[in-house]
Structure 1
């Protein structure tokens, strides 16, 4: 009886241990199971809570989805009633606490329903004198037939040496069955509670580790971002300084080019003026050379004339014997103006 009453973790059928006397106006009882070795050993509906049938007065079951043969993660699980988990740790912890409280409340309600069902079963079974429930009567009939066949076979083999008295089948002790069911459910609930606490602690530890690693990564990223911003600001300042220096150098180069261009233009004008003056001077020199040559020719001609006149005067003086000294003085006075005139004329030409 106990083996038939143990529910399979992969089965969704109600518990078969309840007999036909329990099919009253209330719904059949069952419980909600947490993950165990059976849940991880086969490819079934992977969840934190396997599918279960609850009484009509209980809340509808909820499930946590996960991969086959792998434990589900809180970040990936979805609840049928209240939506998905938030990434915020505080909200996640509060949600898990609420779920645990809801689960414990559901366990208490199941215990109360179980006690109520036991009372109803006792009330229905006490006035009923039927030793066996109708659902199992055919099984007991088959057992009696098999026992009768076995006894007949032994009688044929042993003859009269063995007398077997067959008694009717003993009545089933429903209280014992209910006690076994209660113990079984209590064990299952204890295991479920322990598994839930272990799972909750593991998920909490994992979330704490993830939060610590995420906080460290966030801090590292923030530090790196600050360093990059500082480097970018420094580079921007350097770029602005280089641009300012480049602009100032360009302005200086432009001013220098303009200044030297002006000076070059002035020097070119001066050179042109000097060249023009030199050309004029050359022309003047050539003209003066021509005039000098003319003057030299004139001087030479005049000297020849003077010498000629002097010779003539001397001849005339020599012919006059009365006053030779006066003739000499006259000749000298006559020559002096001519020589002075020639010298002044040459100096004027050179000037």
Structure 2
């Protein structure tokens, strides 16, 4: 736009010089026009300088974005390397987990073996306890038998004492009978001596002494026989009691020996039971400690696995976030590249137009001036034919639509090449672009209809065509530049 206005300013300055040579009356008007042209040129220079500064800032921004893209690409490579490294770490942890699981299985097997040993020891302990109870029962039976034997000994002792008492009573009775017999003998002798009866008979006199001797001998034999019988009975009883006592002593001794042996066995079994109980408690305590330790190790390993999985998830999230940022930056870069290409095309087109129009502008100005009056030139330079202007604008809009469609096709191809990970966003962007294109086409149709109506209304008011072509072309080019800028800015905003 600035270049077109500068070219029109050149033509107008040349026309003003020619007007000054031909018509001095138009000097004031030409000076006013030149002042206006100077102001317009200064404004155009300022606008061009602002656009150049903006273009430089865009280039710097593009360089910075390219550098940032390189940094992001390096970060993405590092993240991919890190993403590959945790797989090896995962394999190492998996191997360690397998080893720990094998160790846990081995310890579980040892635990089951220890449990079997513990069950066997408990069975042996139960058998020892049953044997101890049996030995205790036998001991009680032996104690009961010993008590019976002691009772028998006491009974035998009592029987011996009773027999001794009976022997003493019999001896006393024998002595008493002996005394009674002696007294009777004495009494009989005294009575015989006192009675001196003499009986004369034909028979011989009986021998009393012999009878007494016989009686005495009979009683002595009877007492001796009774004493011997008593002594034999007493002796037999004493022998029986002694033999029973000896037998009881042997049984008591044997029972005492058995009781001592049983006590020794009970003490040994008790010590063995205590040792087995202590060993069992030690094994149970060891099993509990091993279970606690292995449970703790398993918990630590599970925590480590969860931490690694969390780190892996966070790394994947960061990686996806960086990829999204990278894709956004790529989209921004593509939009900036498209905008830069559009500016480059505009600048190249403007340079070509200036180079082609610059040489022909002066010639057309001089040749056109010879056929127009100064006043008609000045008026024609600033008057525009609306129908022709609208036709040029319609043509420019059609060209812009074609260029926009080509640029959108290029954007779609670039988006397909660089944005495989964001197909959904690309589809939405294409749908938005299609809707915007439809809106633009509808607006263009409405504008064309309005312009045709304006053409019909203003066809009678148009001025000569030759003087208005340059101005209409300049205005159409300016509008095309502005529309291209608007389209580029809209594309950047879409991207």
TM-score range with shorter-chain normalisation? 0.3 to 0.5
Indicate the structure (1 or 2) with the bigger Cα radius of gyration.
Answer: 2
Q: Whose relative contact order is higher, 1 or 2, with alpha carbons under 8 Å and at least 6 apart?
A: 2
User: What's the TM-score, normalizing by structure 1?
Assistant: 0.45
TM-score, normalised with respect to structure 2: 0.34
